[in-house]
Amino acid sequence: MFDLPKLRVAVTRECQMSCIYCPRGSSVSMENYNGHTSKSLNTEELHEVLSVLVASGIKTVHFTGGEPLRRDDIACLISKTKALGTSVELNTNGVDLTATKALELKESGLDLLKVSFDTPDNQSFKEMTGLDMFDLVHKNIKQAIDILPVRLNCVVLRRNLPLVLQLIRMADSMGAPAIHFLDLTYYPWEGAIDFFEKEFVDLAITIRPMLEEEFGKPFTTLDIKGCHFSEMVRGEGKTRIVLKEADLTMRNRKVCDQCLTYCHEGIFTVRMSVDGYINFCPCANTHGVDALQSARNGQLVEVMAKYSEIIETARVTNSFPHFLTCNGILLDGGSK
């Protein structure tokens, strides 16, 4: 048994949205986008792998995609994973999150539903996602909040930064327990550098002081392995606000210092691609291992032991300036 962090599992490549910050293009070869083949693991194969991973020490399994609700067997997969003795979380864009589906997720044992919700109005929602479905997603979130634990996720870009306060007030009105604001994570895809330079927002010097002044409450640092997280608790009936800032990240000197990609987010979790390759790197499948084959030949526990060692010996590093230099990124005023 190893002390391992959360496992992110991409269960599908399908998604109705075309969010402007999602990596795309033929050069993308990372956890939940490409992998090594075009296949996807079915429920039985996923359960076979997850059984070994949970037995190896994984405490939380986080299903993502693509859009996980596009899989007809997602509730079955959740219940089978819960039966292994781990907690289960799921990310969704909210389009297919009907009241019936929310009840199904609750009955399957889902511990936390995370809904991407980046803007508070139809026009900006369509601009961010490519879909004219703001009203539907808003309705679905409100229904789900009454059924099971829900958290909202918002990626902050320059274009939706002016809408943050409006989004928080909307979260309050919906009764959302929490909203996480995430800075734009850099992934290597065509046009990524130009997009990052244009849209990146430093949450620590923009949103944090703005929200502390607005609500008269301080942010406090959370003890979470990985990126830097801080929270503001605003009182009963108010949505808890969490900031995720990826400048202070986990780095393993032996692995990360030699990385030509030099990612933004760092290593703090184990990831599995749609086709079943596990990895600790968020930007490439360089260190990926075929989990299903390894499980069947009895080597997966050994692989997880190595991953555990790599992650446990990673240390918090302020590597953001190095990341910018390595990738030739020049940020405008107001950013790092």
| Amino acid 230: pLDDT | 96
Burial 180-189 (b: 16+ CB within 10 A, else e): bbbbbbbbbb
Q: Is the pLDDT of residue 1 over 70?
A: no
Beta carbons of 5 and 311 less than 8 angstroms apart: yes
| Amino acid 41: pLDDT | 92
Quote the CA–CA distance of 72 and 144 in Å, as a whole number. 19
- Mean of per-residue pLDDT scores for the chain: 91
Helices (H), the chain: 43-55, 74-82, 99-108, 122-129, 134-145, 164-174, 192-199, 207-215, 253-256, 291-296, 300-312, 320-327
**Chain-centroid distance, C-alpha 26:** 22
Quote the CA–CA distance of 275 and 278 in Å, as a whole number. 9
In this structure, the number of other CB atoms found within 10 A of the CB of residue 161 comes to 16
- The residue count of the chain comes to 336
Q: Is the pLDDT of residue 17 over 90?
A: yes
| Amino acid 234: pLDDT | 96
Phi/psi for 179 (5° steps) reads -135, 130
| Amino acid 31: pLDDT | 54
Supply the pTM of this predicted model.
0.93
In which band, very low, low, confident or very high, does the pLDDT at 29 lie, cut at 50, 70 and 90?
Answer: low
| Amino acid 35: pLDDT | 47
Least trusted range by pLDDT, from 2-6, 113-117, 171-175, 238-242 = 2-6
| Amino acid 333: pLDDT | 46
CATH architecture of the domain formed by 7-327: Alpha-Beta Barrel (3.20)
Q: What is the mean pLDDT of residues 125-138?
A: 97
Phi/psi for 318 (5° steps) reads -90, 85
| Domain locations along the chain | 7-327
| Amino acid 241: pLDDT | 98
**Chain-centroid distance, C-alpha 285:** 17
Name which of 218, 264, 223 is nearest 241 in CA terms.
218
Higher pLDDT, 69 or 39: 69
Q: What is the mean pLDDT of residues 290-302?
A: 95
